[in-house]
């Protein structure tokens, strides 16, 4: 007898996480697919494909099939979901699969249908959708069902999602396109402009993780990081010592873009809920929330206490996992 399996997926622009009921989070891999240009045959998915980014010959493409949280390549996304399901479930008999997947809060009906269709074609029997800010809030243990205002900023790779939640619903919401990826792009542009150094997105991401700092203060130790790339003028390989203060300066524009989105959401928030937020503070989740001092940056800019959720990268998948296991309790938040 085959029992229905309950699975949750956080399908992010940068990383995909899979939750299986009874086992917890079983998979955390980059949302990257490598495929042959000639016949679209999938060659690698996840970590193996990420290793190929920027290193493939002309006949192979290694790319992220999601752009800013939305499916950009339907066929490749479907193949990727199938791969992740197979890897998560192993060789056991699949039977029926109840699948819950996170989507950006402002997704259109067309985008939602594309996600549902990709999941069904990948083998899911029932597909449920949950908006990422709600999933992140549930995973961060925010009491979203109460009649009080809670603010969460879920910073992923493709989007920064800013939401005010009350009674289990989004009251005010805004999505800022390209959160983590825009920070990476800003680092690439800065290294090229200041050091004549050309680097790829993987190297920029490494720089961000090693010495990225959203709130660099005068007098603190200015760390350095050795970056390898190609000289813009000579075309030869080049090694540069990059300063932490330089990286902090480079990423101020994409951070301000996120802050502008937060200010817009707060300006539309009903006064009573705004009062709750001043009392409770603002919760940060998502992989980009791991950027050093980003909580200090927002606290300083907004004037309201901002703090990181526990294990911010796993907030959305934890929320999706709790919801798929307790559908009746979270039916208001499920689409």
pLDDT value at residue 79: 87
Total count of residues recorded for the chain: 335
Asked if residue 54 belongs to a known ligand binding site, the reply is no
Answer yes or no: is 115 a known binding residue. no
Give me the pLDDT at residue 311, please. Answer: 94
What are the CA-CA distances from residue 57 to residues 5, 53, 60 (Å)?
40, 11, 6
Q: What percentage of residues in the chain have a pLDDT greater than 70?
A: 97
Q: How many CA atoms lie within 13 A of 86 on its CB side?
A: 9
| pLDDT given at position 211 | 96
pLDDT at 329: 80
d(CA 233, CA 237) in angstroms, rounded, equals 11
State which of 7-16, 110-119, 269-278 shows the largest mean pLDDT. Answer: 269-278
299 annotated as a binding-site residue: no
Give the pLDDT score at 190. 95
Q: Is 249 annotated as a binding residue?
A: no
Residue-level pLDDT at 92 = 62
- What is the average pLDDT across 186-197? 95
Average pLDDT over residues 89-116: 82
User: Quick one: 142-309 is in which CATH superfamily?
Assistant: ATPase, nucleotide binding domain (3.30.420.40)
pLDDT at 94: 60
Q: Is 286 annotated as a binding residue?
A: no
Q: Which of 91-95, 193-197, 245-249, 308-312 has the lowest mean pLDDT?
A: 91-95
158 known member of a binding site: yes
Report DSSP state, residue 281.
Answer: -
What is the structure's pLDDT at 146?
A: 87
Asked whether residue 208 is marked as a ligand-binding residue, the answer is yes
**Was 13 annotated as part of a binding site?**
yes
Domain ranges of the chain: 5-134+316-333, 142-309
pLDDT tens for each residue of 263-311: 999 999 999 999 999 999 999 999 999 999 999 999 999 999 999 999 9
Residues 6+ apart with CB under 8 A from 171: 149, 163, 164, 165, 269, 270, 273
User: Residue 85: pLDDT above 50?
Assistant: yes
Confidence of residue 1 (pLDDT cuts 50, 70, 90): very low
The overall average pLDDT reported for the chain is 90
Domain boundaries 5-134+316-333, corresponding CATH code:
3.30.420.40
Which whole number is the average pLDDT over 218-241? 93
Contacts of 218 (CB under 8 A, 6+ apart): none
| Token reading at 101 | 């997947």
Greater confidence (79 vs 178) lies with 79
Q: Is 132 annotated as a binding residue?
A: no
Q: How much is the pLDDT for 173?
A: 94
Which positions ≥6 away from 91 have C-beta within 8 Å? none
Determine if residue 300 is labeled as part of a ligand binding site.
no
Nearest one of 183, 199, 201, 202 to 290, comparing CA atoms:
183
Average pLDDT over residues 197-225: 92
């Amino acid at each position: 007898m085959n029992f229905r399996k309950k699975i949750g997926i956080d399908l992010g622009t940068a990383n995909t996480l899979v939750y299986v009921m009874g086992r917890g989070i079983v998979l955390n891999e980059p949302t990257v697919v490598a495929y042959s240009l000639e016949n679209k045959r999938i060659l690698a998915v996840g970590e193996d494909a990420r290793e190929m980014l920027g290193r493939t010959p002309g006949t192979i493409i290694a790319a992220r099939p999601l752009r800013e949280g939305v499916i950009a390549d339907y066929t490749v996304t479907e193949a990727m979901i199938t791969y992740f399901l197979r890897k998560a479930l192993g060789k056991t008999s699949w039977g029926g699969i109840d699948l819950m997947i996170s989507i950006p809060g402002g997704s259109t009906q067309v985008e939602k249908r594309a996600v549902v269709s990709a999941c069904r074609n990948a083998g899911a029997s029932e597909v449920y959708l949950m908006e990422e800010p709600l999933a992140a809030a549930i995973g961060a243990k925010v009491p979203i069902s109460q009649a009080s205002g809670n603010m969460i900023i879920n910073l992923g790779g493709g989007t920064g999602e800013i939401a005010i939640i009350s009674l289990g619903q989004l009251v005010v919401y805004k999505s800022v396109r390209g959160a983590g990826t825009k920070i990476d792009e800003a680092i690439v542009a800065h290294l090229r402009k200041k050091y004549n150094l050309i680097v790829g997105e993987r190297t920029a991401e490494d720089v961000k993780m090693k010495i990225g700092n959203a709130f660099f203060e005068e007098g603190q130790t200015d760390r350095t990081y050795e970056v390898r790339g190609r000289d813009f003028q000579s075309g030869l390989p080049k090694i540069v010592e990059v300063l932490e203060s330089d990286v902090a300066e480079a990423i101020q524009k994409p951070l301000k873009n996120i802050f502008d989105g937060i200010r817009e959401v707060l300006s539309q928030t009903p006064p009573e809920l705004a009062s709750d937020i001043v009392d409770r503070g603002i919760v940060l989740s998502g992989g980009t929330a791991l950027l050093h001092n980003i909580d200090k940056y927002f606290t300083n800019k907004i004037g309201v206490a901002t703090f990181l959720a526990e294990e911010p990268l796993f907030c959305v998948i934890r929320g999706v996992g709790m919801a798929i296991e307790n559908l009746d309790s979270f039916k208001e938040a499920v689409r």
